Structure 1
């Protein structure tokens, strides 16, 4: 599968501001960047730094005035696809060290508060069957409603409201999977099928010795996603983090088959 990506950001900075940007599809074995280009205005500072877990790049910018970022790329998806329901859970004592942090609660994913719930709701299932059941449960019990959550909304908040956007779905999915003793993290992706088109957040679960992308919104499929970055929760994979006041003028994302 090959997909074409175009992301356009237009922001206003009232004073010199430090910006951490993460919008480029990651150069990793599971996806090939066939071509890519990013346009930026004149900046006071530009530096690339490695993303969380070494996946993708973040860009440090220092800018003032109007910040226009235009990113285009064509990406070929090479990852091994599997039905998660068929994959086994790796016992905790056998997990690779880099996965351990994704067993723990994080700021937006309070997995320690959901262990009783997952045991009672999904207790008869194991491994990938349990993950698939969690995905289907979230998909059927939550409504996709823009505007009902904010950047401070946690998985617990969303669990109570039963409404949210992709970020909220991913947080709930990750939280419930972690509560089962299975590593799970949030992945920022470009994805086919997302409506309205935007930067997309999904869960990524560690089953059968590999990471697999799972979208509880039901809009995107693993074979049609280009990964940007990963993290404990959405705070680690924000496409733009500003250390100062910013105003959005315009923003758009387009993803289509190449």
Structure 2
């Protein structure tokens, strides 16, 4: 599977500002960047640093002029779509040290607040069967409504309102998984069938000793997803963080499946 990515961003800048950008797709075991162009114009200062879990990179920059970014890439995906319900759970006491943090509550995923609900609703299931059931429960009970949430919306807010966007669906699934003692994290991704086209968000759960991508919105298959980065929740994987005032002028994200 080959995925084409075309991202155009532009922001009005009225005073010197620091920005952190995370839009580039990294190469690793199940995805390979075949080609890419990454144009940031001419910022005053520019540096790259490793992102969370060593997956991908963040671009740090400072500019006092209007900022524009173009990212064009072709990425090959070699990742099968597995039946999550057939996967086994790794008990917390056997988890690798770097995975343990993904059991913990976080800013947008207060998993300790939903433990009673998880026990009553999904307590008869375990491991991958429970994750699959939680994914399907979210898909069947929540409405995908653009504009229904904001940067302050937590998984609990979404759980109560029963609506949100991909970010919110991912936060709820992550929260339910952690409340089940299954490590889960937030993944910022590109995917070809997302409507409207934009940066996308899915959950990753740790089953059978490795991470598995799961989209509770039903819009993206694991075999078509291009990871950008991962984190405890959306706070760690924003495509753009601004430390100063900026205003958007353009934002377009186009992702498609390529013939070659």
TM-score where L is the length of structure 1: 0.99
The 1-side partners of 2:143 and 2:153 are apart by 15
Q: Hey, what does 2:189 align to over in structure 1?
A: 189
Q: Hey, what does 2:207 align to over in structure 1?
A: 207
Report the 3-state secondary structure (helix = DSSP H, G, I; strand = E; otherwise coil) of the residue aligned with 1:28.
coil
Q: Hey, what does 1:64 align to over in structure 2?
A: 64
The 2-side partners of 1:2 and 1:108 are apart by 32
The 2-side partners of 1:220 and 1:80 are apart by 13
The reply to whether residue 40 of structure 1 matches residue 49 of structure 2 is no
State the shift of 1:53 in Å.
0.4
State the shift of 1:80 in Å.
4.5
The 1-side partners of 2:64 and 2:240 are apart by 15
The reply to whether residue 105 of structure 1 matches residue 85 of structure 2 is no
The 2-side partners of 1:29 and 1:149 are apart by 34
Q: Hey, what does 2:223 align to over in structure 1?
A: 223
The reply to whether residue 30 of structure 1 matches residue 67 of structure 2 is no
Report the aligned-residue RMSD: 0.7
State the shift of 1:153 in Å.
0.5
Q: Hey, what does 1:20 align to over in structure 2?
A: 20
Runs of 4+ off more than 4 Å: none
Report the 3-state secondary structure (helix = DSSP H, G, I; strand = E; otherwise coil) of the residue aligned with 2:254.
strand
The 2-side partners of 1:80 and 1:253 are apart by 25
Structure 1, unpaired ranges of 5+: none
The 2-side partners of 1:183 and 1:30 are apart by 20
Give CA-to-partner distance per residue, 1:8-63, whole Å, 9 cap, x none.
Answer: 10111111100000000122222100001101111111100001000001000101
Q: Hey, what does 1:138 align to over in structure 2?
A: 138
State the shift of 1:65 in Å.
2.2
The 2-side partners of 1:108 and 1:85 are apart by 26
Q: Hey, what does 2:232 align to over in structure 1?
A: 232
Q: Hey, what does 1:52 align to over in structure 2?
A: 52
The 1-side partners of 2:229 and 2:60 are apart by 15
The 1-side partners of 2:76 and 2:158 are apart by 34
The 2-side partners of 1:44 and 1:249 are apart by 21
Q: Hey, what does 2:95 align to over in structure 1?
A: 95
State the shift of 1:81 in Å.
3.5
State the shift of 1:79 in Å.
2.8
The 1-side partners of 2:78 and 2:220 are apart by 16
The reply to whether residue 124 of structure 1 matches residue 118 of structure 2 is no
The 1-side partners of 2:179 and 2:212 are apart by 17
The 2-side partners of 1:103 and 1:58 are apart by 24
